[in-house]
């Protein structure tokens, strides 16, 4: 109801009606303005409590069960040697360090390289990298690591180099694919507004590629936790040490502790990365 209509009807809202309502020739009318507009739907919570709670609880239960089992099982001197004196903690932290350092280098190398390969000048080099990535996928991680060990000698440094080489190609091809998938109209529009190549990259392409870069981080982390178990074959330490010594000495407790801790670490890392992915994706890019 517009005010002019109200004026034409010549009647003020009668005191018997609630505010915002008035009558015209005996009929009740609502003022449009006074109708409360529907409250904006509460934004759906991205990180649900279930996502936050389920996996940690499962992991804690698994760890608790393993702990109870290992304290009650009989350990001979060889198994004791592998499991006491802070050895388990040492291997755990070595594994975490291998994963963190190698992931850092993977991202430092793969993401800028991915951006470079989608620029006009280097675009022609991209198919060569895709072919390389395909062959890289076919190379067994253990073979690559063994070759590096023969070439560079044993030690954590060799292991980290191997882990990085193995993870760079998948993250690189993900980044390239994601930057390519950006709607060219958006880039055209940004160009049309007078943005420079740099401006388009920093203010259009990269923000649009954030989900993809985060997915790359997650891929790298999960891959690296796995490849880091092989570091033991190059003298790089990590939880793989417990698994291999458990197999070699045929001590099942050592083998099981190593495997369970590796599984827990892998799932934990994947969970943390998925939370980061949810928390850091710009709201405008969420799927609805």
Partner 1 sequence: MSFWEYLNTRHQQLLTDAFQHVSAVFQCMVIATVLGVVIGVLSYRSGWGGSLAITSTATILTIPSLAAIGLLIPLVGLGVAPTVITLTLYGLLPIVRNSIVGLRGVDPSLVDAATGIGMSRIARLCRVELPLAWPPILTGIRVSTQMLMGIAAIAAYASGPGLGNEIFRGIASLGSANAINQVLAGTLGIVVLALLFDAAYVLLGRLTIPRGIRA
Q: Which residues bind partner 1 (CB under 8 A)?
A: 134-135, 137-144, 146-147, 149-150, 154, 222, 225-230, 233, 239-240, 243-244, 246-247, 252, 255-256, 258-260, 262-263, 266-267, 270
DSSP letters, 125-194, are GHHHHHHHHHHHHHS-HHHHHHHHHHHH-SSHHHHHHHHHHHHHHHHHHHHHHHHHTS-HHHHHHHHHTT
Task: For partner 1, give the closer residue by CB, 204 or 266.
Answer: 266
* Contacts (Cβ under 8 Å, ≥6 apart) of 76: 251
For the CB of residue 98, give the shortest distance to partner 1 in the complex, in Å. 12
Tokens of 284: 């405008």
- For residue 255, the SS3 value is helix
Beta carbon of residue 137, minimum distance to partner 1 (angstroms, whole number):
5
Residue closer to partner 1 by CB (options 62, 126) is 62
> Minimum Å distance from CB 110 to partner 1?
19
Residue number, 187 or 278, with CB nearest to partner 1: 278
8 Å CB contact between 281 and 211? yes
Identify which of 164, 26, 166, 58 has the alpha carbon closest to the alpha carbon of residue 101. 164
Task: Work out the end-to-end distance of the chain between its first and last CA atoms, rounded to an integer number of angstroms.
Answer: 35
d(CA 278, CA 215): 10
Q: How far is the CB of 267 from partner 1 (least distance, A)?
A: 6
* Sign, CA torsion 146/152/154/159: negative
Handedness of CA 116, 118, 121, 125 (dihedral sign): positive
In the complex with partner 1, the residue whose CB is nearer, 28 or 131, is 131
Cβ 146 to partner 1 shortest distance, Å: 4
**Nearer CB in complex with partner 1: 49/151:** 151
In whole angstroms, the minimum distance from the beta carbon of 261 to partner 1 comes to: 8
Q: Which is nearer to partner 1, 144 or 204 (CB)?
A: 144
């Amino acid at each position: 109801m517009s005010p002019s209509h109200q004026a034409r009807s010549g009647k003020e809202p009668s005191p018997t009606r609630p505010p915002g309502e008035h009558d015209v020739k005996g009929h009740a009318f609502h003022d449009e303005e006074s109708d409360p507009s529907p409250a904006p739907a509460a934004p759906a919570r991205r990180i649900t409590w279930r996502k936050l709670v389920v996996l940690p609880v499962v992991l804690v239960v698994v760890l608790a069960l393993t702990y109870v089992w290992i304290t009650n099982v009989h350990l001979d001197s060889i198994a004791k040697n592998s499991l006491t004196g802070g050895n388990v903690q040492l291997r755990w932290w070595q594994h975490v360090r291998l994963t963190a350092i190698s992931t850092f280098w993977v991202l430092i190398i793969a993401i800028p390289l991915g951006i470079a390969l989608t620029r006009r000048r280097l675009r022609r080099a991209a198919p060569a990298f895709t072919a390389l990535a395909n062959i890289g996928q076919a190379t067994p991680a253990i073979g690559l690591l063994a070759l590096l060990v023969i070439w560079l000698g044993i030690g954590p440094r060799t292991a980290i180099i191997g882990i990085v080489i193995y993870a760079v190609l998948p993250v690189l091809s993900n980044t390239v694919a994601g930057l390519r998938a950006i709607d060219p109209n958006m880039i055209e529009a940004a160009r049309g507004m007078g943005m420079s190549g740099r401006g388009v990259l920093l203010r259009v392409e990269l923000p649009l590629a954030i989900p993809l870069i985060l997915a790359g981080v997650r891929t790298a982390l999960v891959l690296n936790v796995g490849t880091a178990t092989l570091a033991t074959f190059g003298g790089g330490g990590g939880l793989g040490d417990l698994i291999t010594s458990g197999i070699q000495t045929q001590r099942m407790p050592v083998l099981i502790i190593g495997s369970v801790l590796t599984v827990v670490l892998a799932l934990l890392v994947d969970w943390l990365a998925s939370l980061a992915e949810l928390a850091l994706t710009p709201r405008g890019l969420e799927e609805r």
